[in-house]
A and B are shown apart, each in its own frame.
Chain A
């Protein structure tokens, strides 16, 4: 459904995207996970036909974004990170205007508006001005708006920014329903681990390049066993000494030493005994996507 080949984009001298390639299958929720400034927004702008890339190609629903942008726009719905609603208009009026932009009108448009509002639980707010809606509701109006022309693909840029955790989960559920009931293919960008964890597949983007690709479970399984994080005032030194003593490769940063190891509980007992006094706190957890990102890049997502 989406093919991205060797996509590169430069703003002047600054490389924002470097030879990015991936493929998204029909009916998948596909995530682009990475820190802000990692290239997600640039990639999003190219896929949504707002910007032409320096090199490479992107094909959505069978159409090239550079050669056939109008066709791409017909088959793709876009939800922006910033608001694209008119706050002075009601939910109804916003949707109607959007329908008109896609050449829809009359009974057909009315029907689609009903359906979209039903799907996203907006029916009872249709007469309300957008400026009176909560952040979570506004995001849902944005999605309803993006769905009016029945796109095969939905692109969402940091759609959950500014939402509280419950509104975010609510949004994820709506997106999953879209995939399940209508087979919509969804590509979303995020820097929120929980949201990325709900994707079918994802790529990790760092400094404009893909550093890892797979399902959340596959990515997590790249880290064998457990992750142990030790807090220490002299983390660099502690990290080095742990490496020498246990034959592991810890990463030390900002007062934390992170060790990937199987049987973490046994390691904890040994390490605390080996370096009494130099460890302030100890934590053990199963690998997260953040751990994968740290392992691949040495940097943190958030």
Chain B
């Protein structure tokens, strides 16, 4: 047991310590969605409508920044020695994803402090599902980042994917306009977009408008998506290299 959990825990801890020592990263990750949200929200006089989307964007940025480090870390960094240690690759995947997800979650919680500006007023106990939802979303998005980053050789490739896949995916997730008012095929895209369910999950738990699809559906889809990504990450990392791995 310890040969699985010890490596996973040490990786998780490493992510946190590193993060704590580079506190400026927090500012970078939280600031841009915040500015984004305040501009669009004040401009359209509807801060509530864009709040969940901006929170998910914060979590997404954090998850992406953390997983992008895999690319460098494997060529020149700590992951190299993981690859030649007897620790199972699945432990490595779990430690890395949980560590990065924890960071994304913490930054999501910082963003949550601005919820009153969006007109959110919920009781203390009602915060529990919100906090849990943010963790679930963090976990899922980190898994997505891992799956993309693992096969990449360069960080510039990752940026291209971020602009061509992740940002558009976020745009059609209910972050900017609700599925109910979406036009034509975009609506279909929103329906199959897992991020749509993350946004609606937050809208449900925060008691914000545009909370659709349903709450149960949103939880299940987000959790299943996260689990699938976790398994996919594990399988990818366990593959043997015949080309240069590093």
Instruction: Give residues in A with beta carbon < 8 Å to B.
Output: 11, 45, 48-52, 54, 70, 73-74, 76, 78, 80, 82-86, 88-89, 93-94, 96-98, 100-103, 105, 145-146
Contacts and interface: CB of A to CB of B under 8 A. Distances in A.
Given A52-B240, A74-B86, A103-B6, A86 B14 contact: yes
A294 to B, nearest CB: 29
Nearest to A50: B245
B17 interface: yes
Of A82, A96, A98, A100, most B-chain CB atoms within 10 Å: A100
Contacts of A80: 80-81, 246
Given A89-B18, A100-B6, A82 B80 contact: yes
Contacts of B3: 103
In this complex, the interface size class of chain B, counting residues with CB under 8 Å from chain A, is: 20 to 34
Interface stretch (B70-78, B174-182, B219-227): B70-78
B81 A50 contact: no
A73 B78 contact: no
B149 to A, nearest CB: 18
Given A54-B242, A70-B86, A82-B75, 6 more contacts: A48-B84, A50-B84, A51-B243, A74-B86, A85-B78, A103-B3
6 contacts: A45-B246, A51-B242, A52-B240, A84-B78, A94-B78, A97-B11
Contact of B83 (A50, A52, A105): A50
B245 A45 contact: yes
B77 A88 contact: no
B70 to A, nearest CB: 13
Given A83-B76, A86-B77, A102 B85 contact: yes
A73 B86 contact: yes
Shortest Cβ-Cβ A-B pairs, 7 listed: A100-B10, A101-B85, A84-B80, A82-B76, A103-B3, A84-B81, A86-B78
A52 B241 contact: yes
A101 B82 contact: yes
Of B11, B84, B87, most A-chain CB atoms within 10 Å: B84
A105 B22 CA distance: 27
Of B13, B78, B245, most A-chain CB atoms within 10 Å: B78
Nearest to B8: A100
A15 B244 CA distance: 14
Contacts of A100: 6-7, 9-10
Contacts of A86: 14, 18, 77-78
Contacts of B24: none
Nearest to A129: B21
Contacts of B156: none
Nearest to A87: B77
Nearest to A16: B244
Contacts of A45: 244-246
A32 to B, nearest CB: 17
Contacts of A105: 2, 6
Nearest to B10: A100
Nearest to A105: B6
Given A52-B241, A83-B77, A86-B78, A73 B6 contact: no
A89 B17 contact: yes
Of B18, B76, B81, most A-chain CB atoms within 10 Å: B81
Contact of B22 (A51, A74, A88, A97): A88
Contacts of B77: 83-86
Contacts of A96: 10
Nearest to A104: B6
A84 B243 CA distance: 20
A82 B21 CA distance: 23
A49 B241 CA distance: 9
Nearest to A78: B84
B151 to A, nearest CB: 16
Contact of B241 (A50, A73, A146): A50
Contacts of B244: 11, 45, 51
A100 B245 CA distance: 23
Contacts of A94: 78
A88 B84 contact: no
A94 B80 CA distance: 13
A48 B245 CA distance: 11
A286 B21 CA distance: 54
